Structure 1
Amino acid sequence: MSVEKLPGNDAAVLAVGVIVDAGRQSPYVVDLLEYLVASEAFAAPIVFPVTAGAQPDQVLALSSLTRWVRRIEFGQMLGKQPAVTRRIAIDDIDGLDIVPLAGEWSADGATLDVFGENLEAIIERRLDILVHLASGRPGAGLASAADLATLAIYHGSDCAGADVSLGFMEVLEDAPASCFVIARANPFRVLQAGNIMTAKSWALNQAMLMGKSITFMRHVLERIANDRALLEVDTDAEDALPATLPSTGSLALARYMANVLMPVVLRKFRTRLFGRRDREWVVAVSDHRRPGGSLDDYREIPNPDGRFLADPFLCSRDGRHIVFVEDYCYRDNRGRISAVELGEEGAKVLGVIIDEPWHLSFPFVFEYKGRLYMIPEANESGAIRLYVCDEFPLHWRFEKTLMADVAAADTMVFERDGTWFLLTNICSAGLGDFNSELHIFHADDPLTTDWHPIGAGNPVILDSSRARNGGWFIDDGQLFRINQIHAKNHYGRAFGFNRVDELSRKRYRETRIGEVWPCDSRGFDSTHHFNADGARAVIDFCRLDRARK
């Protein structure tokens, strides 16, 4: 990572302007503007709403079918995720200086720019930083209008980031991830790169991409203000941009209706006729220590009636071999934590050991000073909660909250050289996306509430194919982290295993060693968790479309 220090007084506030499309704004844009207004590191922001008319040759943008599709999808989102469909007038935000501009599109509709008196209206304000949040990529004028840098978000969608098609082609082409890059526009320098799991619909994918990328634009601005520097990631080449997915205009929209919307309608029709069907996770055990070999070697633990088991963790104590699992009940759509005992005659479900009003899963267990502790995933509680075992394996009680006011998933803790590290999945944008970001904190004691981000800053990974925890194992003294791999709208498609090369207060590094995909003969389509204790290994699978019991 290279560093370019900003000139001038480190104590001086930064003058910042924001380019937006004319009209009402998404909540994510409004959140960024309100942050700039409230921050002491920036002067009151100047907002430049740009009116530029329709982009040339954008059949997709102008089509009445497009408006119809978007109306349907936003209507579906309105009940479940109303925040992402809201649009807010920036006139209602106190502390903004609003300067309307007229802009022009390039011939290919990919670049937005301003000229003449409109460009001069920006330059004369002597901005340190100009943030481009409008449709399209900034043209040469906008890219050079600020004294220090113009920052822009680049997406992999058709129209090179145009708002109307943002997130469309990734859904149509079944791309597993939808990417974004935050970069200095001129000269081009990458400041942040990441991706999210591609969502099931264009509207939802667009909302998730906007929310995530604008949130990280705020993080970039915070780093610039705190460090008085532009921190560039390892690559500064143009090929760091997300791949632009090709569009065929109205033909692409027709394919979208046939391949994305129509299957949704057919599934709803089938559900009305034959009832709802559910995917079913299964836990299995094998006598080896690490991923690899045939998945057919695993012995399945039968699911209790009306429930399924997932997220297994092994724990041997007092001569007993226990698998702690998520125990999901179809009746109330909620998980508990249960214990399963492994014996010579097979596996026996002992029963529920932790039950809360919210969903529980991922029962990570660890030992500290002779006592056994558990951190189950409980993001609906808004905290990372610690439980202690009073009598192994069935009697547990809540001990304390390790982190409050945080929605976090799949937390694990490890000790390295006298320091404890907490690895967890948090969505910085507050969108409930726990698949894209790995956050790491350190402390001197695993029972403390005083956890600090490692020096490299969080998230240490911003990649839906690598971030989400899926277990762990140790082989010949070497720690390996399991991560989930996702496909388009397909949580937990497979998992990767990674050698942890460095876990310190300063940084985290890992190397991908391999991947495991569900390719056995028992009708499984997903596997997303692995754990081993040196004598045996446990894994989970998901069956295709099993009927609810």
Structure 2
Amino acid sequence: MGAARGAAPSTSDQERAEVLRWAIVVNRGQPEAQTSELLAWAESQSGLAAPVVVEVDQAACDRSPRRDRAAAAMLRWIQRVEGHGPAGHAGEASRAASSAAVNVPHPDDAADAGLAALGTLRLDVLVDLTEDGCAQRLCSAARLGVLAVWYCGACRPGSDAAHGFWEVWRRDDTVQIEIRQVVDGSQSVLRQLRTTTQGGYALNRAVLLARAQRALRRLLREVAEHGRWMAATDLMPNAQLQRGAPCVTLQLAYLARRAWQAGQRMLNRYVMRRRPDWAVRVVEGDWRGACLGQARRLPTPPNRFLADPFVVSRDGQSVVFVEEFDRARARGHIAAYDVSSPGGGKLGDVIVEPFHMSFPFVFEYESKLYMCPEIAQSRELRIYECSDFPLGWKLHSTPLRDIEAADPMILPWDGRWWLLLSLDGDEVGDQCTELHAYYADDPLSGQWVAHRGNPLIVDSTRGRNGGLLRAGERLFRVGQRQAMGVYGRACGIYAIDTLTESDFQERHVARVDPAFLRGACGVHHMHSDGRFTVFDLVELRSAVPARVRRALRRVRAAP
């Protein structure tokens, strides 16, 4: 797979990394699993010195009102009820994972004493995992300052902070956190992480903290390898409303709404029998200026749906390759449909494997057609060669193994071949947020080298591929836009400006929403070969007869 960022450093890098001294600042007795996870990770990192655990006395400075303490306690209870509660204590983790531990008073009580205690350690970096962000007032004790997690415009790294609660309550599409560096009282954003809002507060918080944990690890590896923080790119303004922890009354209202939503889901699933129905539509002409509302729908076989279309015109025939999902088998395969004429239909199945297949991306190399579909379920990346267009395809090679690659695309750029795909790099069950890149001189050689900046994007509004478009020599990547409770709400079109071994830049040029077709609630893919433009749409359909649905709606609307 090549040398990924974070691989074993060279000898010179190791010598520089050995002088990197860092510490994790926590509150004494803090029940936070992320502390022990960071300590366990540090033990396996040869490029980092063993961390010092700095325990700050929290009890001496706890002046919060009783109602705030009650609200914080209830937040922890909700986390446990929803299955993602805090576990373990930082003090226990520090004793288990590190023999070096320092106790200091809270900076609000005795800042000079804390600075004096830390000054003897000659630290390079402090990682702030305290519940109130107090480590930032100790930033002068470390040469490179403090790394801290910021949420809603304030430093809220601890277990009592309401990470992700307000986004779930407001049903926002995404939630954002930042990793900031604090040096001499000034702040700079090093990383922005934007992910899809989950259905519940506890799960949303767990996903956010897992992503923050991975971002902290990547930054620590970077400073160990390079001796400095890498410049942040692709930053956006933080427009989040600064909110504190929700009061007890609001948390009770949240629990009541969660119970109501659970009942609604059961009604839709078992009574209304609603399910998403994906379909592929085709419109003549190039994607620029195409009238999507006038596109015709491809005929869909019974008990199946179509998605992820790619159109290829060859030898006077235009064919759309799609994911054809069989509901009975709960598995997709690759099929081909003729779109050369309005009456064209299914030509046949193209590739059928004993695992799920989707996203049949087609590329041309040395006058031959190849397909690189998504087969993440098999933990492989395969390339198929076209032997007889359009239905004859055979396995050519398996360039990558032990990888769950989502929606891979292979494309030429500036004399090299590039592989763009999405991975669940933070291991939170989400393949829609992180975009990774690999490059090679030959797309069939299997000698793919990881981009130095991986992941290039950590953003659920564009981190997963949704197709590729061209305008002359220019390339435009289609990125899926996820929303709370909706996969593929919309898609954005991004012009690729820079793609090198160490840099990646793209510009947002358009957004495609499903509003052009009545009843559609999502669109997440688009492709064009100049003659035809294809895309997919999703609608919520019910297997219950219309008469019964109307009667049920009247019952639900009754007082």
Q: Does 2:315 match 1:333?
A: no
Amino acid at match of 2:482: H
Letter of the aligned partner of 2:465 in structure 1?
Answer: N
Out of 15, 35, 54, the residue aligned to residue 21 of structure 2 is 15
Q: Summarize the alignment of residues 267-286 of structure 1 with structure 2, pairs less than 5 Å apart.
A: 267-272=265-270, 274=271, 276-286=273-283
TM-score (norm 2): 0.85
Query: Which of 59, 70, 82 is matched with 1:62 structurally?
Result: 70
Task: Identify if the C-alpha distance between structure 1 residues 367 and 470 changes in structure 2 by more than 3 Å, giving closer, same or farther.
Answer: same
Residue matched to 1:212:
211
Q: Which residue of 2 aligns with 1:453?
A: 450
What is the one-letter code of the residue matched to 2:124?
D
- Larger deviation: 198-207 or 48-57? 48-57
Shift of 1:192: 1.5
Secondary structure of the 2:321 match is strand
Give the aligned partner of residue 202 of structure 1.
201
1:379-418 to 2 correspondences below 5 Å:
379-418=376-415
Q: Distance in 1 between the 2:86 and 2:267 partners?
A: 26
Tell me how far 1:211 sits from its aligned partner. 0.7
Conserved 8 A contact 1:58-1:249: no
Matched, 1:174 2:166: no
Residues 485 and 496, structure 1, Cα contact 8 Å, conserved in 2: yes
Query: Quick check: 2:309–2:322 contact (8 Å CA) kept in 1?
Result: yes
Q: Secondary structure at the match of 2:356?
A: coil
Distance 1:230 1:344, change over 3 A: closer
Q: Give me the whole-angstrom Cα distance separating, in 1, the residues matched to 2:318 and 2:498.
A: 31
**How far apart, in 2, do the equivalents of 1:20 and 1:338 lie?**
55
Within 1, Cα distance between the matches of 2:273 and 2:63?
A: 43
SS in 2 for 1:229: coil
Q: 1:210 Cα deviation (Å)?
A: 0.7
Please give the alpha-carbon distance, in whole angstroms, between the structure 2 residues aligned to 1:87 and 1:475.
55
Structure 2: which amino acid aligns with 1:205?
N
One-letter amino acid matched to 1:232:
A
Worse overlay, 228-237 or 468-477: 228-237
Contact map agreement 1:119 1:141 (CA 8 A) in 2:
no
| Structure 1 pair 404–468 and aligned structure 2 pair: CA distance change class (3 A) | same
Residues 538, 60 of structure 1: alpha-carbon distance in 2 compared, 3 angstrom cutoff: farther
Q: State whether residues 60 and 66 of structure 1, in contact with CA within 8 Å, keep that contact through their aligned partners in structure 2.
A: no
Contact 1:154–1:241 (8 Å) recurs in 2:
no
Residue 99 of structure 2 corresponds to residue 97 of structure 1: yes
Counterpart CA distance in 2 for 1:85 and 1:382 is: 32
Query: Is 2:128 the partner of 1:132?
Result: yes
* 1:433 alignment partner in structure 2: 430
Aligned to 1:530: 526
Between the aligned partners of 2:37 and 2:520, the Cα distance in structure 1 is: 42
2: distance between equivalents of 1:242 and 1:232? 23
Q: Secondary structure at the match of 1:232?
A: coil
How many Å apart are 1:52 and its aligned residue? Answer: 2.2
Shift of 1:477: 2.9
Deviation of 1:131 after TM superposition, in Å, equals 0.9
Out of 290, 295, 298, which is 1:298 matched to?
295
1:11–1:32 CA distance, 2 compared to 1 (3 A): closer
Q: For 2:175, what is the secondary structure of its paired residue? A: strand
Partner of 1:43: 49
Aligned CA-pair RMSD: 3.1
* Per-residue deviation, 1:72: 3.2
Q: Is the 8 Å Cα contact of residues 283 and 310 (structure 1) preserved in structure 2?
A: yes
In structure 1, the gaps of 5 or more residues are 1-8, 78-83, 107-112
Displacement, 1:293? 5.2
Cα contact 1:181–1:241 (8 A) shared by 2: no
Provide the residue aligned with 1:5 in structure 2. none
Name the one with the larger strand percent.
1
Q: Deviations over 1:115-134 (max 9, x none)?
A: 46555443332222111123
* Residue type of the alignment partner of 1:454: H
Which amino acid counterpart does residue 52 of structure 1 have in structure 2? Answer: Q
Residue 231 of structure 2 aligns with which residue? Answer: 232
- Aligned partner (choices 47, 68, 73) of residue 82 of structure 2: 73
Asked if structure 1 preserves the Cα contact closer than 8 Å seen for 2:273 and 2:542, the reply is no
- Tell me by how many angstroms 1:514 deviates: 0.9
Q: Deviations over 1:53-92 (max 9, x none)?
A: 5672484762465455333321xx7xxxxxx986588549
Q: Specify the SS of the correspondent of 1:36.
A: helix
- The alpha-carbon distance between structure 1 residues 255 and 91, as it changes in their structure 2 partners (threshold 3 A), is closer
% identity of equivalent residues: 32
**For the structure 1 residues 513 and 235, does the alpha-carbon distance in structure 2 shift closer, same or farther, using more than 3 Å as the test?**
closer
Q: 1:488 to 1:14 in 2, by over 3 A?
A: same
Say whether the 8 Å CA contact 2:416–2:441 is kept in structure 1.
yes
- The total of aligned residue pairs comes to 523
Alpha-carbon distance, 1:173 to partner: 1.4
Q: Which moved more, 1:365-374 or 1:399-408?
A: 399-408
Q: Distance in 2 between matches of 1:11 and 1:412?
A: 36
> Does the CA-based 8 Å contact 1:138-1:185 persist in structure 2?
no
Q: C-alpha separation between the residues in 2 aligned to 1:134 and 1:114?
A: 16
1:540 is displaced (CA, Å) by: 0.4
Residue 370 (structure 1) aligned to one of 367, 371, 375: 367
Q: Distance in 1 between matches of 2:493 and 2:457?
A: 15
- Cα distance in structure 2, aligned partners of 1:114 and 1:518: 58
Q: How does 1:284-323 map to 2 (within 5 A)?
A: 284-290=281-287, 294-323=291-320
Q: 2:261 aligns with which of 253, 257, 263?
A: 263
AA matched with 1:96? S
Instruction: Choose 527-536 or 494-503, whichever is displaced more.
Output: 494-503
TM-score, normalised by the number of residues in structure 1: 0.86
Query: Given the alignment, which residue of 250, 253, 268 partners 1:252?
Result: 250
281-290 vs 12-21, which moves further:
12-21
Residue pair 2:167, 2:174 contacting (<8 A) in 1 also: yes
**For the residues of structure 2 that align with 1:395 and 1:501, how far apart are their CA atoms?**
36
Per-residue CA deviation, residues 517-538 of structure 1 (Å, 9 max, x unaligned), is: 0113431010010000011100
